[in-house]
């Protein structure tokens, strides 16, 4: 029996079948469609009787390679790649719901996910009840007879809240409800939600999976049965990932483990620096002992991830001064880049949510989110420190 390959090896050695050109690196299949050998093959492909490519909106060799890698990393049977992280999130929900259905969702979610749940889905008669992280005792009581799905993100964006997936999956299984987990911040390298009982896992591959701010993409993975529903929905609604972006993302996975080790090491050191800084009110990082779910994070995750949040003394105005005082750090809306990025969540990613709702999940006016990059940690700490000093 051959040895089971490790994460890093699967990320590098999982490739599509070589063509007659015997290439070492996978080529890019920039083709809208694929030729049928004969009429019978065309019929069988459209009837789903045999596997194969028909049209890139349905499937493509580059997309399949990317999906195969993520499935191996997440321990999933099947997956579907999408044009963006938000198209993955939306498709992973909409593929399973119909008018009259109900969702229970963590209140601590990315802003656009909240907009889907509160602004878009109600147009089609789908309702949502939000549950607070710090009140786990009431989650089960929120499940109704028409509840079809529980939607969570762990660690959450930007609050860095951690949800006990093993506990939550047991509740979902008891009530025959799907557990849908956004695993963007952790990546498959740090956390595999399916192992803890999740049914569906989504990623914004735009973030740490790409890792260099080049390509937008998303992916949904789960059992063959569930992904069959996702594939049907996406095949006919069209959120297809570009083959070029799929090629980039697949190549990026080859270095995911190396990069995440450095992201996590830098982030922990930065969090420790900020925790000791007199101009900082509060720091949140999953692998800091001060994090309220520190023990759970240690149980579920290999390391704490690349995101650190902190509240600077002085509130909104001080936060703005800090952003403007940062020199090397990138002020942009992305995260998971090789370059360290700073973001003011209350005025950008979560600005469409009411101040009351933001405060419920800890997104205060002075909250700064740092996506810790791959630069030398001494330079990152110096830059953050000088911005804190200049913004006094």
Model confidence at 1: pLDDT above 60? no
Mean pLDDT, the chain, whole residue set? 95
Quote the distance between the C-alpha of residue 184 and its chain's center: 2
Average pLDDT over residues 268-290: 97
Give the Cα separation of 136 and 161 in Å (integer). 13
Give the Cα separation of 210 and 65 in Å (integer). 15
Give the Cα separation of 9 and 329 in Å (integer). 33
- The pLDDT assigned to 365 comes to 79
8 A C-beta contact, residue 213 and residue 249: no
Residue 35's CB is within 10 A of a number of other CB atoms, namely 8
190-221: per-residue pLDDT in tens?
999 999 999 999 999 999 999 999 999 999 99
Domains of the chain: 7-253 (3.40.640.10), 256-390 (3.90.1150.10)
Percent of the chain clearing pLDDT 70 (strictly above): 97
Model confidence at 4: pLDDT above 90? no
75-103: per-residue pLDDT in tens?
999 999 999 999 999 999 999 999 999 99
Longest dimension (CA), the chain: 73
């Amino acid at each position: 029996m051959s040895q089971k390959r490790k994460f890093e090896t699967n990320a590098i050695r999982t490739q599509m079948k070589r063509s007659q050109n015997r290439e070492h690196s996978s080529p890019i299949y920039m083709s809208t469609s694929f030729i049928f050998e004969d009429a019978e093959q065309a019929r069988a492909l459209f009837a789903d009787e045999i596997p194969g490519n028909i049209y890139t909106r349905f499937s493509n060799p580059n997309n399949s390679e990317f999906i195969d890698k993520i499935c191996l990393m997440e321990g999933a049977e099947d997956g579907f790649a999408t044009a963006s992280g938000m198209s993955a999130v939306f498709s992973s929900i909409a593929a399973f719901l119909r008018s009259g259905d109900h969702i229970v969702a963590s209140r601590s979610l990315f802003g656009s996910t909240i907009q889907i749940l509160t602004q878009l889905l109600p147009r089609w008669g789908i309702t949502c009840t939000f549950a607070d992280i710090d009140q786990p005792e009431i989650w089960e009581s929120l499940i109704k007879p028409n509840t079809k799905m529980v939607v969570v993100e762990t660690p959450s964006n930007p609050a860095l809240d951690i949800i006990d997936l093993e506990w939550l999956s047991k509740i979902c299984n008891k009530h025959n409800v799907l557990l849908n987990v956004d695993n963007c911040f952790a990546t498959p390298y740090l956390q595999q939600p399916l192992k803890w009982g999740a049914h569906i896992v989504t990623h914004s591959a735009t973030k740490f999976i790409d890792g260099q701010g080049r390509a937008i993409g998303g992916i949904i993975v789960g059992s063959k049965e569930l992904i069959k529903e996702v594939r049907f929905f996406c095949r006919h609604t069209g959120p297809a990932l570009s083959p070029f972006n799929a090629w980039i993302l697949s190549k990026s996975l080859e270095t995911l483990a190396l990069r995440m080790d450095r992201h996590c090491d830098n982030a922990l050191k930065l969090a420790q620096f900020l925790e000791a800084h007199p101009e900082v009110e509060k720091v949140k990082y999953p692998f800091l002992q001060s994090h309220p779910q520190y023990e759970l994070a240690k149980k579920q995750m290999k390391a704490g991830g690349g995101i650190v949040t902190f509240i600077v003394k002085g509130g909104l105005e001080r936060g703005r001064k800090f952003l403007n005082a940062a020199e090397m750090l990138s002020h942009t809306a992305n995260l998971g880049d090789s370059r360290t990025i700073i973001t003011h969540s209350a005025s950008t990613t979560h600005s469409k949510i009411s101040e009351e709702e933001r405060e419920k999940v800890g997104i205060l006016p002075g909250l700064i989110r740092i996506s810790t990059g791959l630069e030398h940690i001494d330079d990152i700490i110096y830059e953050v420190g000088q911005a804190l000093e200049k913004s006094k």
